[in-house]
Structure 1
Amino acid sequence: MTDQPTNDLQNAGSKDQSATIIVTGAAGFIGSCMVQFLNENGYEDLVLVDDFGIEEKRKNWETKKYTSIVERYNLFDWLAATDRRIDVVIHLGARTDTTEFDYAIHEELNVQYSKDMWNYCAAKNIPLIYASSAATYGAGELGYDDNHEVIQKLQPLNPYGISKNEFDKWAVAEAAAGHQPPCWAGLKFFNVYGPNEYHKGRMASVIWHAFNQIKTNGSVKLFRSHRPDFKDGEQLRDFVYVKDVVRVIEWMMESMQNGGWGAAKNGLYNLGTGTARTFIDLVNATFAGLDLAPDIVFIDMPEDIRDKYQYFTEANMQKLRNAGYTQPFNTLEAGVGDYVRGYLKGLKYL
């Protein structure tokens, strides 16, 4: 990993900038950063898909360059009616609220919608990259290895994680049966943070919450540990900067388009940094981004999430490295520093 955050998202090299790319979740956090990244690399023939009626998300997408905007529920009708060739689908749209316990909502948006997308890409021979989640790993009893053998045994802690794992299981089974897009990857996102998450409220990153708490009262509240094997604030997560996430996706997309992604590479991939860090480290980096001394207060964890809380996550990144991705990831200090200084201080968007 590197201590120097990369502020310029542009990558060098030859690209098929004429490609028509669908990006779902394009008004959301990671999706809008993905669209900005593509724009900065010369891609403008983009089909943005999301629920665009949510006013809080408008600043995420209104300045982006694209050729079409399609409401989420209209996408498959739009695809049936269009004569445009679609070159790649980047499916990042999902219901990501881990405190939403109505599984029917997750089933509709995270499972069935993704099945429809998979089936379309398989029928039309279109490469597909989709968002899974580290929430599929549950409490981590079986580790954090992105192999296909373990997914049937995973026990996610909430309906969101269950829905993501159900689709992963279905996708792997479909692929084994020979019904799959020509190239595909399911990315198990770990704790992604960065600009354009301002609309997420309770589900925004701890950095976003810490920054706002510091502005309000000069201190940050962190959850106490409710397990004897973890000290307060020393719960560990694999925090990954969104700028690193979109680079990985672009690399996969380019590999799939230029013939560098053979069928043997299809499958599930972890997307973290491979290094777990404590919440204290995270908050200290946030204070450092504001040139302030840390002031942390510990509070009890809400009971509604206490028995569904991950105390440790750390992505095994070897599979992605073996697939050919060689770029370093930002350290926690570099990524948080860039986010705080470059975006949060001025409430700037990527």
Structure 2
Amino acid sequence: MKIVTGGAGFIGSNIIKKLNDRGINDILVVDDLTDGRKCRNLQGLSFYDYMDYEDFANQMADESFDGGYIDVVFHEGACSDTMNYDGRYMMKNNYEGSKNLLRYCMHRKIPFLYASSASTYGSGKHGFREEPACEQALNPYAYSKLQFDRFVRRMLPLANNQIVGFRYFNVFGPQENHKDRMASLIYQKYYELQKNGKITLFEGTAGYENGGQIRDFIYVNDVVNVIFYFWEHPELSGIYNCGTGEGHSFNDFVQGIIEYCGKGIVEYVPFPNILKGKYQSFTQADTTKLMDAGYDRGFTLLKEAVQEYCRILEKSDGYFE
């Protein structure tokens, strides 16, 4: 059996779809459906069973979980709201829960592939390499992810199972509707254009021109390809960047939306004071370690990915077709 925590979420449901495409459905989905909108992400997917995340976490904590034979855990479950400043909740959910699940997998030699985040690099002023010198968490979410990465580093020399963490950069694509303010800018700006006939971007800040802030945007299909590459290479462990290695300005990606829709203008708005000092104006994955691991499946060109996603937003409101 495969376990996908966060299976009703954005990347988790894309993992399940990819498994289904391969004829695999012996899957335990673990998630928290307090936000009932996430049920929509599971429609059309095939899996063996569902379990509430709190029940699952409690059974991991007291080691009472008995799921039979498990051949891999894809751990995508986490609170990913970077604006949530409840540090106690973040550490309990994202850090302690992940530690308990990792211990379970280590004791049973189960491959453990988990979601980290590029937010662990903070402002990025020290670079985006998978090493402590580059790491600087700016909010409780990033801190919880960074602390778990550090725990993983301590455990790796003791592990007899595969352990891989993926530092996701700016992921976009189908099934992110429930994320609201945490949804990708592509998602947000597509619907802003439909509603208002224009797209707003931040004015320049920290030396960047209007709309010139740069992010490493990666299509969710490419993210799943990276995850499955490592699953298929159990000899590989460690923490790896999951980005394209190429940054694009906000101006670049919104032009793809405007071109697809055949309408719209860009309007620049003042940079919010609340985000000053807490905002990543530049992200670009250093993919050296990923390439050295042999990853050879490439990445979708940004313009092609944006327009494919716009087509899905138009045809099926952003859900799997």
Per the shorter chain, which TM-score range? over 0.9
Partner deviation per Cα, 1:161-211 (whole Å, 9 max, x = no partner): 1111111011101223x1x35111100000000111111111111111111
Partner deviation per Cα, 1:75-109 (whole Å, 9 max, x = no partner): 15287353510000000111100100111111011
Q: 1:192 is paired with a residue of what secondary structure?
A: strand
Q: 1:201 is paired with a residue of what secondary structure?
A: helix
Give 1:133 deviation, angstroms.
0.3
Of residues 175, 179, 190 in structure 1, which corresponds to 2:169? 190
1:321 equivalent to 2:291? Answer yes
Partner of 2:259: 288
Once the two structures are aligned, what percentage of the paired residues are identical? 36
Contact kept, 8 Å, 1:211 with 1:344, in 2: the verdict is no
Contact kept, 8 Å, 2:156 with 2:163, in 1: the verdict is no
State the AA in 1 paired with 2:208.
F
Give 1:154 deviation, angstroms.
2.0
Which of 339-348 and 89-98 deviates more? 339-348
Structure 1 pair 122–143 and aligned structure 2 pair: CA distance change class (3 A): same
1:59 equivalent to 2:40? Answer yes
Which of 53-62 and 130-139 deviates more? 53-62
1:115 equivalent to 2:94? Answer no
Partner of 1:249: 227
State the AA in 1 paired with 2:97.
Y
Partner of 1:15: none
Please list, as runs of the form range in 1=range in 2, the aligned pairs for 1:123-138 lying within 5 A after superposition: 123-138=107-122
Partner deviation per Cα, 1:37-62 (whole Å, 9 max, x = no partner): 11111110001000123211111013
Structure 2 segments unaligned to the other structure (5+ residues): none
Partner of 1:38: 19
Partner of 1:272: 243
Partner deviation per Cα, 1:295-325 (whole Å, 9 max, x = no partner): 1011122222222001111001121111111
Structure 1 pair 304–116 and aligned structure 2 pair: CA distance change class (3 A): same
Partner of 1:232: 210
State the AA in 2 paired with 1:284.
Q
Q: 1:141 is paired with a residue of what secondary structure?
A: coil
Q: 1:70 is paired with a residue of what secondary structure?
A: strand
Q: 2:100 is paired with a residue of what secondary structure?
A: helix
Partner deviation per Cα, 1:97-131 (whole Å, 9 max, x = no partner): 01001111110111001101110000111010000
Of residues 89, 98, 116 in structure 2, which corresponds to 1:105? 89
Q: 2:174 is paired with a residue of what secondary structure?
A: coil
State the AA in 2 paired with 1:287.
I
Partner of 1:341: 311
1:207 equivalent to 2:216? Answer no
- TM-score scaled by structure 2? 0.95
State the AA in 2 paired with 1:186.
G
Q: Which has the higher contact order (CA 8 A, sep 6+)?
A: 1
Give 1:23 deviation, angstroms.
0.4
Contact kept, 8 Å, 1:121 with 1:181, in 2: the verdict is no
Give the RMSD, CA atoms, in angstroms.
1.5
Aligned counterparts of 1:295 and 1:181: Cα–Cα separation in 2: 55
Aligned counterparts of 1:106 and 1:348: Cα–Cα separation in 2: 28
State the AA in 2 paired with 1:106.
M
Partner of 1:146: 130
Q: 1:90 is paired with a residue of what secondary structure?
A: strand
Partner deviation per Cα, 1:19-75 (whole Å, 9 max, x = no partner): x11000011111111111111111100010001232111110132111110110111
Partner of 2:145: 164
Of residues 62, 71, 78 in structure 2, which corresponds to 1:94? 78
